[in-house]
Structure 1
Amino acid sequence: MSDADVSRATADPAAPQRRRIGVLLVNLGTPDATDYSSMRRYLKEFLSDRRVIEENPVIWWLVLNLIVLTFRPGRKGRDYDKIWNRERNESPLKTVTRAQAEKLGRAMSADPRVTVDWAMRYGNPSIPSRLAAMQQAGCDRILVIPLYPQYAAATTATVCDKVFDALKTMRWQPSVRIAPPWFDDRVYIDAIASSVQNELSGLTFVPEVLIASFHGMPEDYVRKGDPYQRQCIETVRLLRERLRRTDDNLLLTFQSRFGPREWLKPYTDETVRALAKKGVKNIAVVTPGFTTDCLETLEEIAMENAEIFRKAGGRNFAFIPCLNDSDDGMSVIRRVAVRELSGWI
């Protein structure tokens, strides 16, 4: 979207505007840098979201500001340093999300009314800034695609919250659609399965067990009605069917737990340790809940969990990358966009 588009849209309020359609890809978020201040700013925005942390707000404010934001920024900054894109000076999540938007824009270029952009729920570019740019450029209809195959209040819903908050500030509100999750979509299942098969075929060893690791959440979030766990279970059921695997050699686990609460089980780190101690020497891990490689996949799985496995007696650990902006990955995003733009294009 060029500056000229914005200028034409705002120069003369009485002039007829070209009606455009926007598609906004939204990912979780990223710090602007790995230094303490940047990490603290990012973590404060993220961990202050009431959908992410459903604790007593007064108690959590004290814990967050006096403890978490004192120690965690330094530690997480060191973790981000391990995976940081030095060439662009940004996180891999930002690099890949931009590439996904650019490729989707080219795929949708047959319709000149469609413009594709991207945003982060936490960090930059922000959702309000990109919605405002689209609205000013004449987009009277905007499709928002939260890049989460499985729905969770702490991910998809908080994107919706931010979108609706931005709409409240607009006198002329564009019509907005939010793309639903695609946890059981056949194109998505086929893409994950194809990625797994391609990666495994290139290994020098045969994994005895394949683990599908998803981001975790506190168990009580599910008891309150969050559908996330059952959508993860359905994704793995369909993946087992597609790959012709059983419950024993394609396991479902949950990673990234935080704080003292009980989170969804089984835990990924405990599972890889237990497998090694049982004598399993070769495993592979895929992360179907992430559309883009990020800290949780590149550092937590590919580095931290690989080390846990080997220290416990395992030998070979393979991390299967996310779909990212691969042909298979873009086929999924393109399918979601085209399906949800029905009636607009």
Structure 2
Amino acid sequence: MTRYWQEPAYTHGQEPRTGILLVNLGTPAAATADALRPYLKQFLSDPRVVEIPRLIWWPILNGIILRTRPAKSAAKYASVWTNDGSPLKVHTEKQAKLLAGFLTHAGQPDLQVSWAMRYGQPSIRKQLDALRSSGCTRILVVPLYPQFAASTTATVIDEVADSLRHWRNLPEVRYVRSFGDDPGYIAALAQSVRDHWKKEGQADRLVLSFHGIPRRSLDLGDPYHCECHKTARLLREALQLPPERMIVSFQSRFGKAEWLTPYTQPTLEKLARDKAAASVDVMCPGFVSDCLETLEEINMECREAFLHAGGQRFSYIPCLNERQDWIEALTSLSLRHLGHWLDESPLNGSERTLQAERARSMGALT
């Protein structure tokens, strides 16, 4: 195998471009067991996602999980699938298009905006190659995970680095590590809650459900748990809610090991059984796009569990998706991280020659 991939065609004097790559977790190509199998294999083979030694994990993954889980997951995906594909893919693509439009309105029409999935298609590798072919020599990678975790943001950075290992002519690369405390993001979350309250009324409790990770990850130094609680605190302060009105919980537990607690569904069931809350508003500030975990796990499974346990009203507050205040926040976030790249306008050949001649003249004078 060739170590370096072939470089795209290049014309001398070609102007360099700057690209932005939005990256989300991933999605299968269809809501079928056949489509879920390769997607789950790619996802669950990532050593940052499952930190079990391969010698132990590989037989479990290939001998049990990939034989039983695809059909079960396919049924869940089918319950939220749209005519345009998975909700996560639809929202991520729309966010990229809107970001490009907002950047143009902000005076940056030459920025190339693309999107990719860490697992599934379009892949990070494919989209990076497309940015390279369009002349991008500077790339800002924006993982769409508000809070940093090794199993999400870090694995995006791994995949970018692995892809660039095959490039001969490397670009400058920057990453947005996390944005769970970004003022624009917090403001958009708070306004989405206010909009919901104005329309539906305020429930007894506001429950924030973040995606879970193994407790062992926290013990080993992963900052995700702390970043989730910081997001929650900032949102509570923005909404001026007393601490007892907001609950932080974690969803999507996998396997028998302990994950971050409290778990979302048992928390909701207890609120209903103990008559501590007849009504709840539930939102997922760890996701910027609605997806299987929010639409099926929260708005279907957890809704049913809460009402079955005696709750009276369950209201789901959608993710930010294509809200204008969120796209404005994403635009501001991108511009800040692009920084001085935007201050350095590309020079055409004659301007570069003129500057070089001036520099030589100044050198001769000194």
TM-score range, shorter chain: over 0.9
Q: Following the alignment from structure 2 to structure 1, what is the Cα–Cα distance between the partners of residues 29 and 92?
A: 15
- Contact map agreement 2:8 2:132 (CA 8 A) in 1: no
Q: Following the alignment from structure 1 to structure 2, what is the Cα–Cα distance between the partners of residues 309 and 226?
A: 31
Partner of 1:82: 79
3-state secondary structure, aligned to 2:244: coil
**CA-CA distance at 1:63 after TM superposition:** 0.6
Q: Following the alignment from structure 2 to structure 1, what is the Cα–Cα distance between the partners of residues 127 and 319?
A: 25
Partner of 1:202: 199
Matched, 1:287 2:284: yes
Q: Following the alignment from structure 1 to structure 2, what is the Cα–Cα distance between the partners of residues 93 and 329?
A: 16
Mapping of residues 131-146 of structure 1, within 5 Å: 131-146=128-143
Unmatched 5+ stretches in structure 1: 1-8
Specify the code of the residue in structure 2 equivalent to 1:211. Answer: V
- Structure 1 length as normaliser, TM-score? 0.95
Partner of 1:100: 95
- Contact map agreement 1:19 1:113 (CA 8 A) in 2: no
Partner of 1:73: 70
Runs (4 or more) in structure 1 with deviation over 3 Å come to none
Mapping of residues 97-136 of structure 1, within 5 Å: 97-109=92-104, 110-136=107-133
C-alpha root-mean-square deviation of aligned residues, in Å? 1.1
Specify the code of the residue in structure 2 equivalent to 1:95. Answer: V
Matched, 1:324 2:341: no
Q: Following the alignment from structure 1 to structure 2, what is the Cα–Cα distance between the partners of residues 181 and 249?
A: 26
**CA-CA distance at 1:16 after TM superposition:** 2.1
Mapping of residues 23-38 of structure 1, within 5 Å: 23-38=20-35
Q: Following the alignment from structure 1 to structure 2, what is the Cα–Cα distance between the partners of residues 331 and 25?
A: 15
- Contact map agreement 1:214 1:288 (CA 8 A) in 2: yes
Partner of 1:343: 340
3-state secondary structure, aligned to 2:174: strand
Q: Following the alignment from structure 2 to structure 1, what is the Cα–Cα distance between the partners of residues 147 and 92?
A: 18
What CA deviation, in whole Å up to 9, does each residue of 1:63-83 have, x standing for no partner? 100111111100010000000
Unmatched 5+ stretches in structure 2: 1-6, 343-366
Q: Following the alignment from structure 2 to structure 1, what is the Cα–Cα distance between the partners of residues 241 and 66?
A: 43
Specify the code of the residue in structure 2 equivalent to 1:102. Answer: K
Partner of 1:3: none
Q: Following the alignment from structure 1 to structure 2, what is the Cα–Cα distance between the partners of residues 96 and 245?
A: 30
Of the three residues 241, 248, 251, the one matched with 1:245 is 241
Partner of 1:262: 258
3-state secondary structure, aligned to 1:212: strand
- Structure 2 length as normaliser, TM-score? 0.89
Specify the code of the residue in structure 2 equivalent to 1:98. Answer: E
Partner of 2:348: none
Report % sequence identity.
Answer: 46
**CA-CA distance at 1:329 after TM superposition:** 1.6
Of the three residues 219, 225, 229, the one matched with 2:221 is 225
Q: Following the alignment from structure 2 to structure 1, what is the Cα–Cα distance between the partners of residues 159 and 264?
A: 31
Mapping of residues 54-65 of structure 1, within 5 Å: 54-65=51-62
Q: Following the alignment from structure 1 to structure 2, what is the Cα–Cα distance between the partners of residues 335 and 289?
A: 19
Q: Following the alignment from structure 2 to structure 1, what is the Cα–Cα distance between the partners of residues 190 and 259?
A: 27
Partner of 1:307: 304
Q: Following the alignment from structure 2 to structure 1, what is the Cα–Cα distance between the partners of residues 137 and 183?
A: 31
Partner of 1:159: 156
Change (3 A) 1:283 1:14: closer
**CA-CA distance at 1:14 after TM superposition:** 4.8
What CA deviation, in whole Å up to 9, does each residue of 1:161-204 have, x standing for no partner? 0000010010111111011211111111111010011012111x
Greater C-alpha radius of gyration: 2
